[in-house]
A and B are shown apart, each in its own frame.
Chain A
Amino acid sequence: MNSIEVNNLTKKFGSFTAVDNVSFNVKKGEIFGFLGANGAGKSTTIRMLCAILEPTSGDAIVGRYSINKQPDQVKKNIGYMSQRFSLYNDLTVEENINFFGGVYGLEESEFEERKKWVLKIANLEGKEKTLTSSLPGGIKQRLALGTAVIHKPEIVFLDEPTSGVDPISRRRFWDLIHELSSEGITVLVTTHYLEEAEYCNNIILINRGKIIAQGTSDELKKNYIKNTILQIECDKVIEALEILEKQNFVNEVSIFGNSIHIVVNDNYKNEEQIRNLLEKNHSINVFRIDSIVPTLEDVFIHVLEEDKENGSSKN
């Protein structure tokens, strides 16, 4: 069952198209990852799905309601944590919770229960009177999530919830997302961290307002990278990169730490080809060459490269 159905959604700001004819479906209870570089159009898409920004064209069904025709119904059934910080720093933990409880019109008894729950997930029991500004970033983020779902929505939109938070807090935050999803709540989340994308059931990569790849993590790795990827460990990495770039058996090169990943094509025969090139011709020492399983990062670099070529050939 689909929780969200997006059909040809487009948003133009003047002559600039921020979201370009985007369509996808999100299943109920799924964690759906929304990836893309800065300015790709992630936030704009989410804001349209939350019915706070009118699409230029297209529509979406969010939890049975159309964002164009029933924006008020949509709002009642979703939770949203905006990319910018969403709590009031000069209010206490409790005052923030009270405020969102009031704005969503919770009944007294239900509210008390939800308040306890928010305090629990944010690890703030007994700290109700603390000013929000004095909380550490990770805790704030959890409190913000708690207040965003205080009314038990079926669907939650999280726009870069973990940006600027330390890795351990990020991990904890994702545990929380999994908890929500296990309760049947649909979670659509944007992120810049590719390792976080691995936690998602489904992923969409968006670039310049268009979807350029989609599927599960495994599907992406299988479908988008048909060629072999080699990891080369050598010295003079930069020099080696420049040399490899020019070879006709190499499609793409990129640096990963102190090693190089290359995507090779049919012109590639064996390891000796590379060793000869680097060691004999350029006296660069090659320590290891391995054929590797692609990471999501490999996939994204690959599809972004392709998109760039398509874009530049069109323009």
Chain B
Amino acid sequence: MDLQRTKAIAKKEFKHLLRDYRMLAILILFPVFLLIIFGYAINFDVKNIKIAVYDRDHSSLSRKFINSLSGTENFDLEGYIFNDSDIKHVLDEKKAQCVIVIPDDFSENVYNNVPAKIQFLIDGVDGNTATIVQNYVNLAALNFNREITAEIFSAYGIKSSIPLELEPIFWFNPELSSTKFLLPGLIGMILVIVCVVSVSISLVREKERGTIEQINVSPIKSTELLLGKITPYVALALLNATMIIIAGYILFGIEVKGSFLLLFFSSLIFLFSAASIGIFISVISESMQVAFSLATALSLLPSVILSGFIFPIESMPWIIQVFTNITPVKFFIVILRAIILRGVGLEAFWEQVIYMLLFAIIILTLANLINIKKEKSA
């Protein structure tokens, strides 16, 4: 391993990257673009949420609560329900997105200063909308709380603490992913695309232009060449990751709870495994066009569909679960969720780190075998 030669390659590659304004603009703007699209989808403003009410209390307080909801433009009261079995019908037939069940001891509890429970049954099929519905319901309940606390206080002279407690139940999708849970997947997806596409393109470009001959004839080793080649793109991907984390904080208020150092090193290992996919693609494709198509397909699709980014892996059929291992994003998401959201350390995800390293080793070995076979026949 000769660092001078690796440095020469990395330096040259940085120059290519900085001089190719178009490519650079795409590589930097693309993540921002994705972030805005996803940010928009996540923050999608839902108005006129259809609600149905099962009021078992029939008190003035329960009517007051219902009015406080239907009085805003967020909710549309579709109608009343009078028995348990209708709840399912209403949700199944999409007559309402949310059913509110007010128990018969509701007002009694409030006046006795015992926490009163209201049940919200939300159609969780569209996880995203369900989250938003939940947020609106929470907000409405909070407002109502404040209102009646003041009211009860002035009317009865007693101080009521938390008269109302919400108990949302997700009817169809119990492990509903919240806004936060999408960000790690987004980071993984963006990094894998940037890294795989740029590494494979930069390697195939040398093949296509014939400059690889000049490198092959020099004493440089393939590990030195590859390490030098991936360095600028790994650095670029790290820059992208930083941008997304900052934007995640600004746009969604998501703070990194765990260690930045751990985040950095696990990202590095992840990018190494992503780069190995890029190297593999460069071995099997002869033109930049082929490499680009393969790279986008092999990085984008699995990282969206199979990584657990949007669809939970546990609920996939076992055969598909096996296939989820073709993307290192699967492991990286677990790590990111652990570091960013839970703030836990290596003990929570060392297995995933090993899987990512194994992934890289397997892919690089495969690439090497194919390369040797190609050279023999060429």
Contacts and interface: CB of A to CB of B under 8 A. Distances in A.
Interface of A: 13-14, 47, 50-54, 72, 75-76, 78, 80-88, 90-91, 95, 98-105, 148
Contacts of B209: 84-85
12 contacts: A13-B377, A50-B217, A54-B375, A76-B219, A78-B217, A80-B214, A80-B217, A84-B211, A86-B211, A90-B20, A102-B8, A104-B218
A13 B378 contact: yes
Given A14-B377, A102-B5, A103-B9, A86 B214 contact: yes
Contacts of B16: 88, 90-91
B217 A90 contact: no
B11 interface: yes
B216 interface: yes
B12 A88 contact: yes
B219 A82 contact: no
Given A54-B376, A86-B211, A91-B15, A72 B219 contact: yes
Contacts of B11: 98-99, 102
Contacts, number: 80
Contact of A103 (B15, B215, B378): B215
A87 B20 CA distance: 16
A75 B218 contact: yes
A308 B38 CA distance: 69
Contacts of B5: 102-103, 105
A99 B14 CA distance: 12
Which 8 interchain pairs have the tightest Cβ spacing?
A102-B8, A84-B210, A82-B213, A80-B217, A86-B214, A52-B216, A99-B12, A103-B218
A82 B211 CA distance: 8
B214 A105 contact: no
A88 B206 CA distance: 9
A148 B213 CA distance: 11
B211 A103 contact: no
Interface string B189-219: 0000000000000000000011101111111
A54 B376 CA distance: 7
B158 interface: no
Residue from A75, A78, A103, A148 with most neighbouring chain B CB atoms (10 Å): A103
Contact of A52 (B15, B213, B376): B213
A99 B11 CA distance: 8
Contact of A86 (B9, B12, B210, B378): B210
Contacts of B219: 72, 75-76, 104-105
Contacts of B376: 54
A102 B214 contact: no
A91 B15 CA distance: 7
B220 interface: yes
A84 B376 CA distance: 22
B210 A95 contact: no
A310 B166 CA distance: 97
B208 to A, nearest CB: 10
Interface residues of B, number: 27
A53 B8 CA distance: 24
Given A91-B12, A95-B12, A99-B12, A148 B4 contact: no
Contacts of B117: none
A148 B214 contact: yes
Contacts of B220: 103
B56 interface: no
Given A90-B20, A105-B2, A75 B217 contact: yes
Given A54-B375, A103-B5, 7 more contacts: A80-B217, A81-B214, A82-B217, A91-B15, A91-B16, A100-B214, A104-B219
B213 A84 contact: yes
A47 B8 CA distance: 24
B50 interface: no
A105 B210 CA distance: 22
Contact of A99 (B2, B8, B20, B216): B8
A82 B210 contact: yes
Interface string B79-116: 00000000000000000000000000000000000000
A14 B378 CA distance: 8
B217 A85 contact: no
B19 interface: yes
B180 interface: no
Interface string B338-378: 00000000000000000000000000000000000001111
A90 B16 CA distance: 7
Contacts of A102: 4-5, 7-9, 11
A12 to B, nearest CB: 10
Contacts of A51: 217
A90 B378 contact: no
A104 B217 CA distance: 10
A113 to B, nearest CB: 17
Nearest to B2: A105
B4 to A, nearest CB: 5
Nearest to A76: B219
Interface string B216-230: 111110000000000
A173 B31 CA distance: 49
Given A14-B377, A75-B218, A80-B217, A88 B8 contact: no
Nearest to A43: B213
Interface in B10-44: 11-12, 15-16, 19-20
Contacts of A87: 211
Contacts of A85: 209-211
